[in-house]
Structure 1
Amino acid sequence: MAFIADKQTLEDLNLLGKFKPHSIYNLFNKVHTTGGERLLDAMFAQPLTDPEAINARSSIFQYFQQQAFTFPLPTSVFRTAENYLSMGTGTNFPAVFAATFRKKAGAALVHDEQFAALKAGVVAALHILQSLRRFADALRVPEGSAYSNEAASLKTLLADRRLESVWGMGDHAALSFMQLVKYDLLLRHTLRDAVEKILERVYHLDVYIAVSGVAKDRLFSYARALPKTQHRVSTTALRHPALANAVANALSLSAECNLLFLTGANMAGKSTFMKSFGIAIYLAHMGFPVAAENMEFSVRDGLFSSINVPDNLSLGYSHFYAEVLRVKAVAQAVSEGKDLVVIFDELFKGTNVKDAYDATLAVTAAFAAYRNCCFIISTHIIEVGEPLKQQAAGVQFAFLPTVMDGPVPRYPYTLQAGITNDRHGMMIIGNERILEMM
């Protein structure tokens, strides 16, 4: 079953987008090949829901991080080879000979560049194959490790006897015309299926090396996936992966205590903490490294967030009505029995305080009853906390504090147990001297 994460969630957490500033995708997009980028796209689009598959992929990244591999192929040469191999050629020697001869004649008569491009492609492909074989020969993969099958597959493909003449090649640039015809037929026709499989292995290598390199540079770790039935997630140090010097916080949710009710002043870090949690959940289901330590999680069916819910002028939706529709969509998924992670940042902030109080209390208590799901719900309406303690079991209360240095607020971003009583809005307005300006 596919992992559920809708457009709103993906945008709230800034997960996808090659051209979006500071997206989590861009954080990991250090690949060298177009095929590697396509594979990275697919991994981000399709998180896993099988704990064995998640842990297997995670262990491959860990292996590559331990080995500290760098991408073994020159990027520009690989792109030349990749472009060349993506095009078709003749299906027999006479056809390839005739086509190559026409290209050579065109180069001599009218300075046509097709022959030079063909030769450059063959030379690049031969160079890549030789470099890749040296890399594969040097691989020492422990028996039974998650990468052992892929490593064995790569070595088997490169051990094809029809490639034997490639390994003894010296100066690729000195290829004769007949050698050029021979290798063009070999690479783009005779061994086309095998070469495509070799390229797929290269794309996987590219992603493994890129992602593990990011994990090493940023001191990320690897989460351990647990069976769905355990209904828990825990980490000793969770932080936002895109922030330098981010403050880490511990978090633990389980079937017995499945909802975190979070309070704190504006700028105290509630939204960042919630985004950190959502991003970690998503990346963990991909088998990717996370900005957390000692993280364990039961696989979920999906992830929903409600952080930056926009109004919809074309449909006539107010901000509050858009919030209500978002809660309705999540409630529908929860009531269908799906095992979900749900994040709500400041429920019902688009309506008056009385309605927001009543709605926040009722909805939070109702969600808490679904022990197969875990929730983080934040609010400014701290008065909800005490009656919620009476109405709902399985709720833990935490806040992000504000420390006052005289009239100036300071935010340590460290999660504390309880419900805040911070009310510093008017003090901040005073510090900015707004009323004096008016």
Structure 2
Amino acid sequence: MTAFDIDKQTLNDLEVFGSSEDHKSLFDLFNQTCTIEGESTLKLIFKNPLTDIKVITERLKLIQYLQNSSLDFNLDKESVDFIAFYIRQNNRPKKPSALSKIKKTVSEYLNPTRAFYIKRRGVKEVLDLITYLDLIVSHLNRKTNFSFLKKINDVIIEIKNNRPIAEYLLSKNNKLTPSKLSVFDFEIRTTAASQITNLLTLLYELDAYFAVAKTAKQHTLCYPQLNSDEEKHVEIKMLRHIFLDKPVPNDVFISTDKNVSFITGVNMAGKSTLLKSIAIAVYLAHLGFPVPAQQMKTSVFHGLMTTINISDSLSQGYSHFYNEVRRVSSVASKIDACKNMFVIFDELFRGTNVKDAHEASVSIINAFSKIKNCFFIVSTHIVEVAEDLHQNENIDFNFLETKMIGNKPSYSHKLKAGITSDRMGLWIIKNEGILNILDRNAKR
């Protein structure tokens, strides 16, 4: 299976993990897990997008099934964490004989130790967890074709083949006497140890999937459809930014015929927000997660690279422009490795003068348009770049609309076909009263 290529710059651009406790992140939005290890499992999933269409599709269908099940999956975090602690105990028990059971019963009854407490609680928590997961899988219908649910069911069946455990689970009077504790402690941490460990691993993954299902329901996310057609395309209807309270939805379509989407618009028109929305949707789809849109159909890519919040590298002595050049070079290397990439550049070559940015942008975008197995989205407020590219049939031109209402700009944040000629830079400077302040001081 080919690994999905995504780097630190892209993860930072999309705010996948965030940079501080106060910073909102994509992971935090989806992290409604019940357990510590469930959270760790979800984070591992976030770090490893998929490229196998069958694996992605099965995960999507599983999460959608969990959401539609309306099952209240709610584990007690402390109980599950205690099970993990109990299982990790180093003092492996020996199979208890009849005499040793009597001695241990009397000893622990007269002088209960910390080890006895751990054993008593650990055994009870494990048996309760097996019972709970058995009910969960039964509720989710064992006849479903989900390989993941079948794995859980198969492990539970293996555990229930253990005679003492099976008898306990079938008993109406599930009282754990001190003598029985030694038996269950031995069975759980020795005979059935590997099955219990496997069950916990699957439990953490189930916890992660239920967390995603809860998020999908709360934020009205849709489940993307993936296709394996030779002609690649990405079609998203009513796409919105997942972090915004009142987002403006947009439709996005990119195909092999027009593999470059060139977006113009003035500063503050919403270009960066739109590009992040598109990238987040592509990223989530490759995790096998639902996306913030009404509908999405997409091909599978081998990687995602964005350049939205690039900065100077002061420690290495690199300028903003040189960092941009290195970023384009990195994209070229990924493509050269025979990977079909989804690439986004926000304000390409903003770190140099307008003339250099113009010429470099035209050259690079024309080169992008010839690479049909990759999709590119490039934004700019330098309208002249779009005019020089207008004859290229592989480029789809769109803009974010801005209107002057009275003496103020109004940003619709709606994507429209064509090229904008709007210019707002000087108006913004004048509106802030900067020139008036400078003129007033010049006369002093």
Greater CA deviation, 161-170 or 21-30? Answer: 161-170
Q: 2:227 aligned with 1:209, yes or no?
A: no
Query: How far off is 1:364 after superposition?
Result: 0.8
Write the deviation string for residues 298-320 of structure 1: whole angstroms up to 9, x where unpaired.
11110111111111112211111
Name the residue aligned to 1:420: 420
Name the residue aligned to 2:69: 67
On the 8 A contact 2:79/2:125 being kept in 1, the answer is yes
Name the residue aligned to 1:403: 403
Give the Cα separation in 2 of the matches to 1:284 and 1:273.
Answer: 17
Give the Cα separation in 1 of the matches to 2:430 and 2:33.
Answer: 49
Give the Cα separation in 2 of the matches to 1:212 and 1:201.
Answer: 16
Give the Cα separation in 2 of the matches to 1:319 and 1:18.
Answer: 21
Query: Which amino acid in structure 2 is aligned with residue 90 of structure 1?
Result: R
Query: Is the alpha carbon distance of 1:238 and 1:41 closer, same or farther for their aligned partners in structure 2, counting shifts above 3 Å?
Result: same
Query: Is the alpha carbon distance of 1:69 and 1:93 closer, same or farther for their aligned partners in structure 2, counting shifts above 3 Å?
Result: same
Query: Is the alpha carbon distance of 1:18 and 1:44 closer, same or farther for their aligned partners in structure 2, counting shifts above 3 Å?
Result: farther
On the 8 A contact 2:159/2:192 being kept in 1, the answer is no
Query: How far off is 1:183 after superposition?
Result: 1.1
The residue correspondences of 1:180-195 to structure 2 (distance < 5 A) are 180-195=181-196
The 3-state SS of whatever aligns with 2:278 is helix
Query: Is the alpha carbon distance of 1:266 and 1:250 closer, same or farther for their aligned partners in structure 2, counting shifts above 3 Å?
Result: same
Name the residue aligned to 1:356: 357
Query: Which amino acid in structure 1 is aligned with residue 92 of structure 2?
Result: G
The 3-state SS of whatever aligns with 2:412 is coil
TM normalised by structure 2 equals 0.91
TM normalised by structure 1 equals 0.92
Give the Cα separation in 1 of the matches to 2:239 and 2:398.
Answer: 15
Name the residue aligned to 2:5: 4
Give the Cα separation in 2 of the matches to 1:97 and 1:131.
Answer: 34
Query: How far off is 1:146 after superposition?
Result: 5.7
Q: 2:36 aligned with 1:34, yes or no?
A: yes
On the 8 A contact 2:259/2:394 being kept in 1, the answer is yes
Name the residue aligned to 2:441: none
Greater CA deviation, 399-408 or 339-348? Answer: 399-408
On the 8 A contact 2:101/2:179 being kept in 1, the answer is no
Q: 2:378 aligned with 1:393, yes or no?
A: no
Query: How far off is 1:103 after superposition?
Result: 11
Structure 1 gap ranges (5+)? none
On the 8 A contact 2:222/2:293 being kept in 1, the answer is yes
Query: How far off is 1:134 after superposition?
Result: 2.4
The residue correspondences of 1:22-101 to structure 2 (distance < 5 A) are 22-94=24-96
On the 8 A contact 2:4/2:48 being kept in 1, the answer is yes
Query: Which amino acid in structure 1 is aligned with residue 370 of structure 2?
Result: A
On the 8 A contact 2:222/2:294 being kept in 1, the answer is yes
Write the deviation string for residues 158-217 of structure 1: whole angstroms up to 9, x where unpaired.
542432122145676x53221111111111111001111221221222122111110011
On the 8 A contact 2:303/2:340 being kept in 1, the answer is yes
The 3-state SS of whatever aligns with 1:308 is coil
> Among the aligned pairs, what percent are the same residue?
37
Query: How far off is 1:264 after superposition?
Result: 0.7
Query: Is the alpha carbon distance of 1:102 and 1:324 closer, same or farther for their aligned partners in structure 2, counting shifts above 3 Å?
Result: farther
Query: Which amino acid in structure 1 is aligned with residue 65 of structure 2?
Result: Y
The residue correspondences of 1:316-355 to structure 2 (distance < 5 A) are 316-355=317-356
Give the Cα separation in 2 of the matches to 1:104 and 1:416.
Answer: 81
In the comparison of the two structures, how many residue pairs are matched? 435
Query: How far off is 1:425 after superposition?
Result: 1.5
Query: Is the alpha carbon distance of 1:76 and 1:170 closer, same or farther for their aligned partners in structure 2, counting shifts above 3 Å?
Result: farther
Give the Cα separation in 2 of the matches to 1:142 and 1:238.
Answer: 35
Name the residue aligned to 2:17: 16
Write the deviation string for residues 104-130 of structure 1: whole angstroms up to 9, x where unpaired.
969966x85333233222222222222
Query: Is the alpha carbon distance of 1:341 and 1:68 closer, same or farther for their aligned partners in structure 2, counting shifts above 3 Å?
Result: same
